[in-house]
Amino acid sequence: MACRTPIGQLCKRASQPSTLNFTSKPTAALWRRGSICQSRSFATPVPPVTQNATSSKGPTAMVFMNMGGPSTTDEVGDFLSRLFSDADLIPLGRLQGYLGPLLSKRRTPKITQQYAAIGGGSPIRKWSEYQATEMCKILDEISPETAPHKPYVAFRYANPLTEEMYNKLLEDGFGRGKGGRAVAFTQYPQYSCSTTGSSLNDLWKWRQRLEGKSVDTKSDNDGTINWSVIDRWPVHPGLVEAIAQNIEAKLLEYPEDVRNEVVLLFSAHSLPMSVVNRGDPYPAEVAATVQAVMQRLGHSHAYRLVWQSQVGPSAWLGAQTSDTVTNYIKKGQHNMILIPVAFTSDHIETLYELDEEVIGESGHKDTIKRTESLNGHPVFIRALADIAKAHLDSGMACSKQMGLRCPGCKSERCAESKKFFAGQQLAI
Amino acid sequence: MACRTPIGQLCKRASQPSTLNFTSKPTAALWRRGSICQSRSFATPVPPVTQNATSSKGPTAMVFMNMGGPSTTDEVGDFLSRLFSDADLIPLGRLQGYLGPLLSKRRTPKITQQYAAIGGGSPIRKWSEYQATEMCKILDEISPETAPHKPYVAFRYANPLTEEMYNKLLEDGFGRGKGGRAVAFTQYPQYSCSTTGSSLNDLWKWRQRLEGKSVDTKSDNDGTINWSVIDRWPVHPGLVEAIAQNIEAKLLEYPEDVRNEVVLLFSAHSLPMSVVNRGDPYPAEVAATVQAVMQRLGHSHAYRLVWQSQVGPSAWLGAQTSDTVTNYIKKGQHNMILIPVAFTSDHIETLYELDEEVIGESGHKDTIKRTESLNGHPVFIRALADIAKAHLDSGMACSKQMGLRCPGCKSERCAESKKFFAGQQLAI
Q: pLDDT tens across B20-59, in order?
A: 333 333 456 667 654 444 333 333 333 444 433 346 688 9
**Bridge partners of residue A228, in order along the sequence:** A183
B28 touches chain A (CB under 8 A): no
The pLDDT of residue A386 is: 98
Confidence of residue A31 (pLDDT cuts 50, 70, 90): confident
Q: How far is B425 from chain A (nearest CA, A)?
A: 16
User: Of A261-275, B15-29, B249-263, which range is least confident?
Assistant: B15-29
The pLDDT of residue A1 is: 32
Instruction: Reply yes or no on whether the pLDDT at A71 is more than 90.
Output: yes
CA A415 distance to own-chain centroid: 23
Helix (H, G, I), strand (E, B) or coil at A157: coil
Q: Which of A226, A130, A278 is nearest to A421 (CA)?
A: A226
A317 touches chain B (CB under 8 A): yes
Longest dimension (CA), chain A: 66
Instruction: Reply yes or no on whether the pLDDT at A4 is more than 80.
Output: no
Query: Which residues, other chains included, contact A212 with Cβ-Cβ below 8 Å and sequence gap of 6+?
Result: A224
**Which CATH entry fits the domain spanning A9-71+122-234+377-427: 3.40.50.1400, 3.30.1300.10, 1.25.40.10, 3.20.20.30?**
3.40.50.1400
Give the global pTM: 0.89
Instruction: Reply yes or no on whether the pLDDT at A311 is more than 70.
Output: yes
Instruction: Reply yes or no on whether the pLDDT at B228 is more than 90.
Output: yes
> Are B300 and A263 an interchain contact pair (Cβ–Cβ within 8 Å)?
no
For residue A322, the number of C-alpha atoms closer than 13 Å in the C-beta half-sphere is 17
Q: Which of A403, A346, A228 is nearest to B262 (CA)?
A: A403
pLDDT tens sequence across B309-361: 998 788 999 999 999 999 999 999 999 999 999 999 999 999 999 999 999 99
Average pLDDT over residues A404-427: 94
CB atoms within 10 A of CB A52: 18
d(CA A37, CA A312): 44
B317 touches chain A (CB under 8 A): yes
The pLDDT of residue B426 is: 87
Instruction: Reply yes or no on whether the pLDDT at B298 is more than 70.
Output: yes
A51 against B197, higher pLDDT: B197
CB atoms within 10 A of CB B219: 10
A302 against A103, higher pLDDT: A302
Q: Which of B284, B267, B243 is nearest to B336 (CA)?
A: B267
- Report yes or no: A346 and A124 within 8 Å, Cβ to Cβ: yes
The pLDDT of residue B7 is: 31
- Report yes or no: B264 and B303 within 8 Å, Cβ to Cβ: yes
A100 against A15, higher pLDDT: A100
Query: Which residues of A are less than 8 Å from B422 in CB distance?
Result: none
Please list the residue range(s) of chain A that carry CATH number 3.40.50.1400.
9-71+122-234+377-427, 237-370
- Which of A290, A399, A405 shows the shortest C-beta gap to B299? A399
Long-range contacts of A1-6 (CB under 8 A, 24+ apart): A4/A39, A4/A41
Q: How far is B58 from chain A (nearest CA, A)?
A: 28
Confidence of residue A53 (pLDDT cuts 50, 70, 90): very low
Q: Can you spell out the DSSP letters for A102-117?
A: HHHHHHHHHHHHHHHH
CB atoms within 10 A of CB B355: 18
Instruction: Reply yes or no on whether the pLDDT at B4 is more than 80.
Output: no
d(CA B370, CA A359): 47
A277 touches chain B (CB under 8 A): yes
Query: Which residues of B are less than 8 Å from A406 in CB distance?
Result: 304, 319
Helix (H, G, I), strand (E, B) or coil at B70: coil
d(CA A402, CA A422): 8
Q: Which of B303, B310, B317 is nearest to B266 (CA)?
A: B303
CB atoms within 10 A of CB B190: 24
> Are B283 and A283 an interchain contact pair (Cβ–Cβ within 8 Å)?
yes
For residue A385, the number of C-alpha atoms closer than 13 Å in the C-beta half-sphere is 32
Q: What is the rounded average pLDDT for all residues in chain B? A: 88
CA distances, A154 to each of A137, A158, A169, B66, B180 (Å): 19, 9, 11, 50, 64
**Which CATH entry fits the domain spanning A237-370: 1.10.1040.10, 3.40.640.10, 3.40.50.1400, 3.40.50.1370?**
3.40.50.1400
- Which of A303, A304, A405 shows the shortest C-beta gap to B331? A405
The pLDDT of residue B22 is: 31
Query: Which residues of A are less than 8 Å from B284 in CB distance?
Result: 287, 290-291, 305
CA distances, A312 to each of B52, B184, B272, B274 (Å): 64, 44, 21, 19
User: Of A214-223, A404-413, B132-141, which range is least confident?
Assistant: A214-223
Confidence of residue A58 (pLDDT cuts 50, 70, 90): confident
d(CA A135, CA A386): 9
**Bridge partners of residue A308, in order along the sequence:** A269
* B66 phi and psi angles, rounded to 5 deg: -155, 175
The pLDDT of residue B387 is: 98
Q: Which amino acid is located at B218 in the chain? A: K
Confidence of residue A55 (pLDDT cuts 50, 70, 90): low
Q: Which of B68, B90, B58, B53 is nearest to B180 (CA)?
A: B58
Q: Which of B12, B58, B89, B1 is nearest to B378 (CA)?
A: B12
* CA nearest to B302 within chain A: A401
User: Of A44-58, A314-328, B182-196, which range is least confident?
Assistant: A44-58
pLDDT tens sequence across B91-110: 888 888 888 899 999 999 99
Q: Can you spell out the DSSP letters for B103-148?
A: HHHHHHHHHHHHHHHTTSS-THHHHHHHHHHHHHHHHHHH-GGGPP
Query: Which residues of B are less than 8 Å from A290 in CB distance?
Result: 284, 288
CA A41 distance to own-chain centroid: 21
d(CA A165, CA A145): 24
d(CA B65, CA B233): 14
A284 touches chain B (CB under 8 A): yes
The pLDDT of residue B21 is: 33
Instruction: Reply yes or no on whether the pLDDT at B3 is more than 50.
Output: no
- Report yes or no: B296 and B235 within 8 Å, Cβ to Cβ: no
Burial of A44 (0-12, 13-18, 19+ CB in 10 A): exposed
Q: Where are the beta strands (DSSP E) in B203-333?
A: 226-230, 263-269, 303-308
> Are B291 and A234 an interchain contact pair (Cβ–Cβ within 8 Å)?
yes
Q: CA gyration radius for chain A? A: 21
Helix (H, G, I), strand (E, B) or coil at A378: helix
Q: What is the dihedral angle through the alpha carbons of A377, A382, A384, A386, rounded to the nearest 10 degrees? A: -160
Handedness of CA A187, A188, A189, A191 (dihedral sign): negative
Burial of B5 (0-12, 13-18, 19+ CB in 10 A): exposed
Q: Which amino acid is located at B289 in the chain? A: T
> Are A277 and B408 an interchain contact pair (Cβ–Cβ within 8 Å)?
no
The pLDDT of residue A170 is: 97
CB atoms within 10 A of CB A94: 7
- Which of A235, A291, A302 shows the shortest C-beta gap to B403? A302
- Report yes or no: A189 and A160 within 8 Å, Cβ to Cβ: no
Confidence of residue A113 (pLDDT cuts 50, 70, 90): very high
The pLDDT of residue A88 is: 86
pLDDT tens sequence across A145-186: 999 999 999 999 999 999 999 999 999 999 999 999 999 999
- Which of A279, A302, A319 shows the shortest C-beta gap to B319? A279
H/E element, A303: strand A303-308
Indicate which residues of A carry an active-site annotation: 236, 386
Query: Which residues of A are less than 8 Å from B263 in CB distance?
Result: 404
> Mutating which of B387, B401, B416, B425 best tests the A interface, going by the most A Cβ atoms within 10 A?
B401
pLDDT tens sequence across B368-410: 999 999 999 999 999 999 999 999 999 999 999 999 999 999 9
Q: What is the rounded average pLDDT for all residues in chain A? A: 88
CB atoms within 10 A of CB B120: 13
d(CA B149, CA B57): 10
H/E element, B363: none
